[in-house]
A and B are shown apart, each in its own frame.
Chain A
């Protein structure tokens, strides 16, 4: 049995607090913390037994035996999680998915791009990239974070230690006015900064734009996808994405987001 085996655990709630009106910061004590990789996710089960499917939530950070999840209350299941408090327990399965391959950052100018709920997984990614040593180190780290407005910012203060941070918001009330793509193009135009590899997570429209930008500039982009899931472990084939090439597991142009993903090379998937 390797330490990376997926398993079901009962995690203990260390604390939970609101970061904005509907974004929560949940810290869970679980042995899964030790093995978690940036870009992976966990499946949380609802206490209410009428809601049977797990909720996939990306891992935001890990430290000292704790997994930190930053999520939004979007439905009845996540509203149940919002009620969890210190001392409660929650059943979960982890660690799921492939995560980002840190080797692709070696010696390169790296840009991590998070939009909205795609921001949390960028935290552990940048922390790990920043801690790499010797030949494995990236040449530079830049974080680009996109928000709706100044009222909806969260985690924006947490990337300062890892390199340059660029903020963007739809209404311009924080950072650059526009999308993360506008911010990336602005950095290139005014300061001649262009990444050699992009890691991105966010809404589909943003991931499509990142993919198109990366293709236009001939740079590598790795994007983290989401889809409605059932089992979370690769058995049900509910969460697939169309792939450019025939997938080795499925033998068709479909890959399982929960297992072959959620991180894919942008050039390999058809969004």
Chain B
């Protein structure tokens, strides 16, 4: 009997696959393509205290084996999120990780406190790594001291486990991972997108209205694996690994690098049912290699 289940912050997941924040809405849109109950967890798009407009368009563009986005965390705010999106997810038997964003520490705390009181919320993922908003976001996620401080503050108000989502746009991943751990984070997730730029040479203009955007997709997968490995080997708390995961093989790489849970992001846009394909592929890998459970894969590299 193959055991796909994993435990994350004391919560049991059917399997180690979730969706990366921002690539799956709140699951409503993809529920037409995927049975949401198949996922290990649903990770929602970032939620703020009040509705956010996001950035001007164009907000997305394709790049080789990837894409860039600068959505700017458009979202309907936590009231509508709770009454509509969370209410929708209550009909499913799947843990919900809510991604939390804010411009200031106070905003993060307001959202974290309120959402952590909701029954339908299993964990919070704190987005201190969005490269596309001017205030907040990445400003907290690229300085170790600021990261530790915001982690501590969120932990003090949250009634649910707290995952800090880290940016790859830093000099040292271990330093940031340790800062989150020192702040009391229950887990860390990485990587968010790489700050990138694309220029339309015929119009001599930036392709994205925001000038820069976050690069994601299979193009960045090997960098993500390295960073997940570095993070997992510098802290004791669990790691959620993500970055260009397109297949079961990619997800297994993340697990072997030390991730306990793996998120599938941009590839949802390429193949709406990709999460299920990855889950089934992991099961097939375990079976054909006579491995009894996913936990045997986590951090197992022969050296």
A interface residue numbers (CB < 8 A to B): 5-8, 45, 49-54, 77, 93, 227-241, 249-254, 259
The 9 A-B pairs with the shortest beta carbon distances in the complex, nearest first, are A238-B60, A251-B76, A235-B25, A251-B51, A235-B29, A52-B270, A230-B60, A228-B58, A234-B29
Q: Are A240 and B74 in contact (CB under 8 A)?
A: yes
Docked Cα-Cα span, A227 to B58, in Å, equals 7
Q: Are B54 and A93 in contact (CB under 8 A)?
A: no
Instruction: State which of B32, B51, B60, B67 has its C-beta within 8 Å of the C-beta of A252.
Output: B51
Interface size class for chain B? 35 or more
Q: How far is the CB of B149 from chain A (nearest CB, A)?
A: 30
* B44-71 CB contacts (< 8 Å) to partner A: 45, 51-54, 57-62, 64-67, 69, 71
Dominant SS among interface residues on chain A:
loop
Closest A residue by C-beta to B273? A8
B interface residue numbers (CB < 8 A to A): 22-25, 29-30, 32-33, 45, 51-54, 57-62, 64-67, 69, 71, 74, 76-77, 80, 217-218, 266-273
Q: Are A50 and B53 in contact (CB under 8 A)?
A: no
Query: Given contacts A6-B32, A230-B60, are A52 and B51 in contact (CB under 8 A)?
Result: no
Query: Given contacts A51-B62, A53-B62, are A252 and B25 in contact (CB under 8 A)?
Result: no
Q: Are A7 and B218 in contact (CB under 8 A)?
A: no
Enumerate chain B residues within 8 angstroms of A253, measured Cβ to Cβ. 53
Enumerate chain B residues within 8 angstroms of A93, measured Cβ to Cβ. 272
Instruction: State which of B57, B61, B217, B269 has its C-beta within 8 Å of the C-beta of A231.
Output: B269
Q: How far is the CB of A137 from chain B (nearest CB, A)?
A: 34
Docked Cα-Cα span, A249 to B74, in Å, equals 11
Q: Are A252 and B268 in contact (CB under 8 A)?
A: no
Enumerate chain A residues within 8 angstroms of B266, measured Cβ to Cβ. 52
Enumerate chain A residues within 8 angstroms of B65, measured Cβ to Cβ. 49-50, 52
Q: How far is the CB of A81 from chain B (nearest CB, A)?
A: 15
A-B contact pairs, 24 of them (CB 8 A): A6-B32, A8-B272, A52-B269, A53-B60, A53-B67, A227-B58, A230-B269, A232-B269, A233-B32, A233-B33, A233-B272, A235-B45, A235-B268, A236-B69, A237-B54, A237-B74, A238-B59, A238-B71, A239-B59, A239-B60, A240-B57, A249-B76, A253-B53, A259-B29
